[in-house]
Amino acid sequence: MAEKAHIPLGVGFYPDWWKANYGITFGRDYYYDPDYRVEVGLKQQKALYERFGDVGLGQADPQPKPLISFGMVMLPAIFGCEIVFEEAALPWAMPLNLSAEECDKLVKPDLTKVEPMASVLKQIDHLKSKYGKVVGDINVTGVQNLALKIRGDELYMDYYEEPEFAHRLLTFCSECIIDLWKFIYPITGTGAVDVTPMCDPTIFCVPNCTVEQISGDTYEEFGLPYDNMLAEACHPFGIHHCGSLDPVVEHYAKVKNLVFMEAGFGTDFAAARKILGPDVAFNARISPVLMKNGTAEEVAATVKDAIDQGAPLSNYSIDTVGLTDGVPDENVRAARRMAMEYGLIG
């Protein structure tokens, strides 16, 4: 008898988990040395299989994955943000905190020449010559995310005090994001999967990590026009939203060509699905804090609740990412088993 399909539940471990458990590090080398990155990918799949193969994670005999990656900091780096690389953390872009005048003087980069894109292009050549292909993980970041890296928190003051300037900056950021996507997608055939592993990688999915900080009305004025600009230029379109989707979901429903939405914990998943409709693939996130500090029973109950909220399950997934050192293995198993045993489709 064929096994019944169940909703997928993804698991992603944070670099500190890999370093503490397997000595795998994610410093500057990981992003600049493609051979090291491919080797890490193989080690990760084997380690996951040995540890969590009973719940379907990892691969017994993984094949090399010629991955390019630059975290979520490619465009911030291009504009001059200092990038902090740590062995046990994701790279982080320090905000530039430019003045409005300095922002207005920014020009769109030549992606074939500017660093660190030029280094990534060399890596692509290397991987293609060795493996015949490359898969992509150049995260374009979201519009407001990028604007905040360039302007700093002052962007939020601009929304009230200098709205015309804010719109200029957001337009500029949108154009740069579109340019990067149109440049890299033909090379790799995929978008970034590091932030949104449950999203179909052929979809243009942007991380709107900072939209959680603004109201629905503010998103309507300073977010929606730019997400639509992206969605019209590059589609089908998807959005990753950190935190609760509830304050903005009605506004996200107006985004054109939207086929994927990822919602953080705290979201009313059932209400969000109802507003967005069953044709928008939906990924519900489980809190990494719960995964670390909760019991296996609490994790299972939370996953069960997310499944109960998610109908129709055919276009629904769950994941829990950013799992840090100290997350009990039994919590990972509890989450996976609940999806496999309770989240049956059909």
Partner 1 sequence: MADLQAIKEAVSKGKRKDIVGLVQAALDDGADPNTIINDYMIEAMKEVGARFEAKKIFVPEMMIAARTMQTGLDVIKPILESQGSQKETVGTVVIGTVFGDLHDIGKNLVVLMLESSGFEVFNIGENVPPEKFLEKAKEHGADIVGLSSLLTTGDPHVKATVEAIKASDLAGKVKVVCGGAAVTRKFAVDQCGADGHATDAVDAVKTIKQLMNLN
- The alpha carbons of the chain give a radius of gyration, in whole angstroms, of 20
Does 99 engage in binding with partner 1 (CB under 8 A)?
Answer: no
What mask of x and - would describe binding to partner 1 in positions 221 to 260, judged by CB under 8 A? --------------------------x-------------
CB of 269 to partner 1, least distance (A): 18
Q: How far apart are CA 34 and CA 96, in angstroms?
A: 28
CB of 307 to partner 1, least distance (A): 24
Long-range CB contact pairs, 118-124, < 8 A, 24+: 119/32, 120/68, 120/70, 120/74, 123/32, 123/34, 123/68, 124/68, 124/187, 124/188
Nearer to partner 1, 259 or 334 (CB): 334
Does 283 engage in binding with partner 1 (CB under 8 A)?
Answer: no
Q: How far apart are CA 75 and CA 72, in angstroms?
A: 8
Does 92 engage in binding with partner 1 (CB under 8 A)?
Answer: yes
**Cβ atoms < 10 Å from Cβ of 229:** 18
Environment class of 304 (CB within 10 Å of its CB; exposed 0-12, middle 13-18, buried 19+)? middle
Nearer to partner 1, 73 or 180 (CB): 73
For partner 1, the binding residue among 218, 267, 320, 331 (CB under 8 A) is 218
CB of 91 to partner 1, least distance (A): 10
Q: How far apart are CA 103 and CA 124, in angstroms?
A: 31
- Choices 83-91, 96-104, 297-305, 331-339 (CB under 8 A): range interacting with partner 1: 83-91
Subset of residues 135 to 154 that bind partner 1, contact rule: CB under 8 A = 153
- Inter-residue contact 22 to 47 (CB < 8 Å): yes
Binding footprint of partner 1 on the chain (CB under 8 A): 14, 16, 84, 86, 88-89, 92, 94, 153, 156-157, 159-161, 213-215, 218, 247, 288-289, 292-293, 322, 324-327
